[in-house]
Amino acid sequence: MSLELTYYGHPALRSKGRRIESITPEICTLVEQMIDTMYEYDGCGLAAQQVGRSLQLAVIDVMPTIEKRPSKAWKDGKAIDVESLMPLVLINPEIIPLGKQKLLDQEGCLSIPGVYADVLRPSRIKIRYQSLENVTLELETEGLLARAAMHEVDHLHGILFTDHLSPQDLEEHQPLLKKLLRENSVF
């Protein structure tokens, strides 16, 4: 069963998620529903805030776009097949940039429909997170998987990709952002 998305202007998108202290049946159900929702809306990632929950929880699946926007991953220094990780469930994730190289690439967001812009982010990262089995894992990645992880972890801290835009890029998208804000603000 999929969940209702929250859109630009909804206060949940600006909320910092609470740490998940234990993996309960409710958390497992929420993960399943978030994955269903991500697939229903053709997204490559979804954070709990995007379905109105203030939790440190995100799901990712970059496989539908892997041909156009490749990803690489390493575990314990060994290359691993990205497909074997999908869908990736990130509980209480933390991002550690690796190296100084950054990459400018296009991002969009299910919660900000119609807005796409280039965002500068580290090109390679380490993700430290808990699995549904409550095991702490580390994964190094680059490409779309790294970008999607950073984008979703930003959501978990109440940060939107539009917060990373230059004033000029933000100004270009203001008409649509104002429209979304009018439609989705909760007063």
Report long-range pairs for 25-32 (Cβ below 8 Å, ≥24 apart). Answer: 27/57, 27/91, 27/132, 28/132, 30/55, 30/57, 31/57, 31/59, 31/89, 31/132
Residues 187, 176: Cα–Cα separation, whole Å: 20
Does 21 participate in catalysis according to the annotation? no
Tokens encoding 98: 């690796």
Q: Which of 152, 171, 172, 183 is catalytic?
A: 152
- Longest pairwise C-alpha distance within the chain: 50
**What residues are annotated to the active site?**
152
